Amino acid sequence: MRTLQAKLGDWLYDDDAASGSIEAAQEPFDTFGPLGDPRRTQAAPRQAVSQHGPQGGHDCARILIAESDAYHRRVLRVLLAHPEISAIEVEDGQSAIDLLTLRSFDLILLGMDLPILTGPDVVRWVRRSQTPWSDMPILGLIGDQDRHLLGRLLSSGLTDWTPKPISRQHLAEKLIGLMPNLASAGL
């Protein structure tokens, strides 16, 4: 019987079932591309930024969607369905932070009423972190109940905001303003 470690090894590395040998790949690979070693990123954060610039060395815009409401996640999924955009969704603030430590993103679409860590908590955590992505654009998804927090959110590091319910035109304008390379995407 194979152990959990062996199964994980099969996922992380190339498994040549025909010969029965496991050859180590250069880096593990997931749907976003190679997973970097988080320790290497934290040990030399400035080197990672200077190598690829703020957008990183990839061919599509990577967007992290952190929204607790399933309806709004679905709307964003439909609005951002484009070959030039790669989006991943999470339902809570802690999952967003966990993904930020594992993968590179170009932008965060952030709801404010997230469980575990709220939107304002995530903004503070990202801006106070000593990581290459601490200055990543964060576009807040602000509902009517959170409008009173807007001044505080912008002063704590929220880059910009868009109102809920989400409008395709307004979201496209905000995304192109934050990431001009999406102008050709035809959002």
Q: From first to last of its 187 residues, what are the pLDDT tens digits of the chain?
A: 444 444 444 443 444 444 444 444 444 444 444 444 444 434 433 333 333 334 445 678 899 999 999 999 999 999 998 888 899 999 999 999 999 989 889 999 999 999 999 999 999 999 998 888 889 999 999 998 888 889 999 999 999 999 998 989 999 999 999 998 888 777 7
- The CA-to-CA distance between both ends of the chain, in Å, stands at 50
Instruction: State the DSSP code for 147.
Output: G
SS3 59: coil
Domains along the sequence of the chain with CATH: 38-181 (3.40.50.2300)
Nearest alpha carbon to residue 109 among 11, 24, 182, 12: 182
- Tell me phi and psi for residue 60, to 5 degrees: -140, 160
pLDDT (0 to 100) of residue 16: 43
> Long-range contacts made by residues 19-25, C-beta under 8 angstroms, separation at least 24?
none
Q: Which residues contact 162 (CB under 8 A, 6 or more apart)?
A: 139, 140, 141, 142, 170, 171, 174
pLDDT (0 to 100) of residue 9: 42
Q: pTM (2 decimals)?
A: 0.67
